[in-house]
Each structure stands twice: as C-alpha cells, then as structure tokens.
Amino acid sequence: MSYTRLPFTIHKEARGSQARAATLQTLHGEVHTPIFMPVGTQATVKSQTVESLKATGTRVLLANTYHLLLRPGPEVFQRLGGIHRFMHWDGPVLTDSGGFQIFSLPHARAMNEDGAQFQSYVDGQSYLLSPESSIATQRAIGSDIMMVLDQCIPSTAAYAEAEAAMELTHRWAERSLRARGESPQALFGIVQGACHADLRKKSAAFVRALPFDGLAIGGLAVGETHRERYEMTALVTAELPSSLPRYLMGVGTPLDLLESVHRGVDMFDCIAPLQVAQRGLAFTAHGKLQLRRSVYKFAEERLDAQCECQTCQHYARAYLHHLIKAEEILGWHLVGVHNLTFYHRLMREMREHILHDTFLPYYEQQRTALLRTDAENPSQPPPRTKTRRSTCLGDYEVHRAPQGFASIRQRSSGEVMHSVNAPSEEANRLYIEQSGLSARLVTQRNLTDPLVIWDVGLGAAFNAMAAIQCFERCYAKSGDHSVRSLHIVSFECDLDPLTLALKHPSDFPHLRHAAPVSLLKNGTWVHALGLLHWQLCKGDFRECFSATHAPDVIFYDPFSFKTDSVLWTTDTFTRLFQHCTPKSTELYTYSASTAVRAALLSAGFFVAEGVGTGPKSTTTIAFTRAPEADAHPHAPRLLDQQWLARWRRSDMKFPPTLSAEARAHFASRIENHPQFCRST
Ligand SMILES: [Zn+2]
C-alpha cells in the first residue's frame, strides 16, 4: 500500500449523533476538525490580511483554481514557490477544481468528455479545463488538498441530467487520480447526484472505491431547500467510510454547519461570513445583527460582549454602524474579523462538546439559538408572522418553488398551478407559441373581426398576460394599424389567486402591468388603442360560456381532473364542441391523459399531440375541424391507430359511473371518429 498523504485520526464520535472530532495531518501542519475554511478566491480572503486571519483562528484557506488559473496564472506560482510563499500563508490550503465556477458562472463555454472550453474574463483567451489541466494547475499552486474536477449542475436537476453529470464526474475522478501521479498533495473525490437518493448512493459507492485521501459532497447549496440539503448530507455521509475526512462544499450558514456536523461532516467552506460582513451583518451570541440599522447610531457597547475578537475588543457598534453606512473598507474588515471569529468559535465549541460527549444537548440548544435575529433590538414588526399571513388568501397561498419561481397553491387540494416548471415559461410554450399567436396577429391583420381567445382558468393570469405581452410585442414590432385586434375572455369562478398574486409583485413580475388591476376592479381592460380587449367572465365556466361568442383559440388550463373533474368530462366537452362548431376552434391544454383525450374524441373533437413542456413529454390539442397540418404552425400529429389500440387496452378507457349503454355509445363515438377512419 502506498503512503498516506493525509493521515486522519478520529478522537471521538458523539453519542446520538454522527458528529466526530478528528485530526488531519497536512503538509503544512495539523488541522482539528470539524473545521471551517474561509474562501480566498484570488489568493486573498476579501478585506483580510494573513495576520488578521490568523487572529480570528483561521487554520485552513480555500483558494479558487479557476480564478488563479486566469490570473496570475500557474507559471507565477511555479516561479515564486507556490501559493504559500506567494501570499505569505504558512498554513494548509485547499484548492477547488474550478468546476463550480465553470459550470455556474455565466460565460461562454463548450463542454465534452474531455473537459470544458471557456474564454477568460481577464483577456479573452481560450482555455480548456480538463481533469488533467485542473490537477496541473492545482499542483502548480501547491495546495495541500486538491479537488477532482466535477460537473456541477443545479441540485434540483432532473434525474437524467443528474445521472449523466454524475457518470461524467466519475470518469473525470479516475482521470484526476492518474493526473495527480506521485505528487505528495492530497486529492479528494466528489459525490454528485443532485437530490436523487439512489444516484447519491451510487456515486458514494463509486468514489469510496477509489484511492482518495478524503471525500466531498458536491452539488448542494445550489437551489435545494434546507430540508433536502440536510437529508442528502445524512444520506451520503452514511455511505462514506468513517476512515476518511468528509467535506461539504460551499456550505454554509452557522446553522448549516451545526446541522451538517451533526450529520457527520468534518470540513466546510463558504463565502457567507465575509459576504454578509460587507453589508453590515454580524453573527453574535444574541442572534444576527444588522449594523446598518439606525438603532446603532449612538450605540456605545461592543458588537458582542461574549466575543474575544479584535473588533469586539476595541470598537463600539456606533463606529461600525458609521463605517458600514459610509461603505468604508474598514467596516467590511472589522465585521469580517468578527464573523470569522464567530464561525471558528462555533467549530471549536462543537469539537469540545464532541470530545466531552455533550454534543447532543449542545446541538439542540444551538439549533434554536443560531436562528435568532437581534434579540436585544428586535426589528418591528415581527417579520415571520406578517409574511405568513399575507402569503395566504382564502383557499390559496403563494408557493415558492426551489427553482426560484412562484406560483399559487390551492390549500384544500394541495394542487399547485404549474407545479414543476416556471408558469410564465409554460404559458409561452404551451399556449402562446404553440397556437402561433404572433403569426395570427401579424399576418392576418387584414381580418376585421378580432381574434378571440378563451382563457379557461384565469388563476394568477399567467396565460392571459402572456397573450397580452405577445400582442404588445407584435404591436411594437409592426406599428400602428397592422396588428389584428384581439379579444381575450378569461373564465374564473374564484378571483382570490389573482388578488393574492397581485399583492406579491416581486414573486409575480408578469403582473406588473395595468391590465390585471383593471380586470379585477372593472371586469375588463382595454389597450390604449382599443385593439386589445380583455374581459372577465366570473362564475362557473359551464354556466358562462354559452353566452359568449365562439372563440378561435381556447387556453384550457383549469385545475386537474382530481380537483375540478366536471371540467374534463365528455358532457362539458360535448357542449363546448357544439357551441364552437361550425367555427374552426383550437383548444390547447396541458393534460395528456388518455381519459381526457378519449373524452374530447367522444365529444367530436379531432385530437392531436401537443408539444411537451417541462416534465411533460406531450400535451394535447383539440380541433373542431380536421386540421390542415400544413397550415398549422406546428404541424400537429393527430392521435393515430396506435393510440386507439392503447386506449382499447387502457384501464381508463371509460369515464367512471357510465351505464353499459352509455359506455357503448362512448366507445362507438371514438371507434367511428373520422380521425381514425381517415388514417386507415
Ligand atoms: Zn467579535
């Protein structure tokens, strides 16, 4: 067996917890874990000197390979004897692989099996970051611990994408080990797999089988909820050998550190303590404290009476308040000194409690303590209750997806409108683009009668607003009278979702427009030039629609069959079909279920497959007249004999509660539908 590059000794494992206290032996001395490593992106921890870092208790620094590769470049480190001499730091250094920056920062890159090709933001030069070039750069930098190149994806990535990224990361892990060669520098493997438990397990099993000196959990803290992060962390640490150090990359807040140590993690890095310091946020024994607040203008006391740091020894809150308000670098430096001291003290305390076997009660007590905000000077009014109340209205609440967009959830059914992909995206893809709306508005401008759209299920007005924005784009492009006029009729029985969404303009940016406010207030909105008319029909769609002129296009977007079953029945579709014929009407809907398609066919509609959106591979389009595929913007494919055969075998063949006679009628309507006769 080859020599150990990073001897790791566990001194104690906490009772009732996965937490452990250990010692790492690096090329630049001993490290006690759990450990927090400040981030020194450009071979400097922002606003700090090496001396101030040491005074805070910093023991290991993290440096970013990506930034150092571009500037000053590996040759500078080679000539000047590595990063330690270069930046006058004699403690251990860990370098990341550059993968995170390449895959998460917005710049042009092309990726293949070999690596990622990208352009330097410094001089525009083209670089290849491959497992080999990453290791070569990390060797030149001379870090104590190197990381393998991995493909980073959002933690919320879908299964197939996460699996492909994981497989690539595994192949790159093997190449990285070969590239390390005889270097005495330690090398860590990385477990990927996003938030998919079986991929995480598979990845852990793969990397633990390779001769790494430590193992990292990558791809967290990039989009998932705290709960998911903790769950994945626990799941992965359970799969890793206890004999190697475990590093959770890019995490986190003091609470994240506590929760993750409890779940068996030894090493952490995060930009948080210095990033928030720049804005005047300090972590204290009394909770988080915002120094910008004017309550500190005359405050003579120290930042944190229980802190031994240089800032707390010498400076009053009033002075820190002033520096932060004036955006002086010294304010960033001093609050940064305090925050790093706070982080390192937290890690030290955890270690002490693990060693004395008192970690569990300490953990329980800190779980609440670390959540506190400024206990001495609480800000008014208490923010938590206020936010909770106002995100609900009637049976609805604002639902914020981890991917960063908001939608509306019905509380009684739990159903989220557009649950998986961003609602505005779905509105555009499924309804606006697929119906060829802009082409209809521009190329059919000589038609004097308006194009009529029915918007069934107004909800938070994503679809109607997408149509209005499409109209406005067409109008802006083609000038005054060359756009066909448009009439949108929205059907909705409950206006609470729209009312609620309007109260949260930052969550629902599509509503920052005069139209929805006017629609709610007056039941109608007219575009300044009179070319666009939006009308609200409040009430049950089945009761209302027969009093309204037949439409050209229907955006059919009510709640699902489970919640709003009557809107998906043959009876409703038959009445709709009869109301629309002989006009040529197209109905677009997100549902692709066999039952819905069968109900549409039995009502007389011609039914075709619509485009996929988000996780749905297909959706549905229904026509009152057989469509001329060539004339339609998307040349939709009518359901064929294969679908018919599938329907015959389906256990959703008939709607529930039909009598035997009605079943026979339903089946014959489908079997004898001209759509299937034509295609045989
Ligand atoms: Zn302090």
CA–centroid distance, residue 258 to ligand 1 (Å): 20
pLDDT 10s digits, 572-607: 999 999 999 989 999 999 998 999 999 999 999 999
Average pLDDT over residues 228-236: 88
Across the range 184-210, mean pLDDT stands at 96
3-state class of 142 per DSSP?
A: coil
Burial class (CB within 10 angstroms; exposed 0-12, middle 13-18, buried 19+) of 382: exposed
**CA 90 to ligand 1 centroid distance, Å:** 24
Could you confirm whether 269 is annotated as catalytic?
yes
Ion ligand 1 residues within 5 Å by Cβ: 304, 307, 309, 311-312, 338
Per-residue model confidence as pLDDT tens digits over 60-101: 999 999 999 999 999 999 999 999 999 999 999 999 999 888
30-34, 137-141, 503-507: which has the minimum mean pLDDT? 503-507
Spacing, Cα 615 to ligand 1 middle (Å): 49
Rounded mean pLDDT of the chain? 90
pLDDT of 125 above 70: yes
Give 144 Cα–ligand 1 centroid separation in angstroms: 29
Q: Across residues 389-417, what is the average pLDDT? A: 83
pLDDT attached to residue 227: 77
* 105 — pLDDT class (breaks 50, 70, 90): low
Interval between CA 570 and ligand 1 midpoint (Å): 70
Q: Of 96, 144, 213, 552, which residue is the catalytic one?
A: 96
pTM, full prediction: 0.59
Helices H, strands E: what count in the chain? 27, 28
From the list 213, 266, 269, 507, the catalytic residue is 269
Measured CA to CA in angstroms, residue 418 lies from 462, 465, 511 at distances of 10, 15, 16
383: pLDDT confidence band, cut at 50, 70 and 90? very low
Helix (H, G, I), strand (E, B) or coil at 436: coil
Percent of the chain with pLDDT over 70: 94
Identify whether the C-beta of residue 608 lies closer than 8 Å to the C-beta of residue 621.
Answer: yes
Active site residue 96: yes
Q: How many residues are present in the chain?
A: 680
109-111 and 186-191 as β-strands: parallel, antiparallel, unpaired? unpaired
DSSP assignment string, 594-654: HHHHHHHHHHT-EEEEE--BTTBS-EEEEESS---GGGSTT-PEEP-HHHHHHHHH-TTSS
387 has pLDDT over 60 = no
Which of the residue ranges 130-144, 339-353, 374-388, 449-463 would you say has the lowest mean pLDDT? 374-388
Q: Tell me what pLDDT residue 479 has.
A: 57
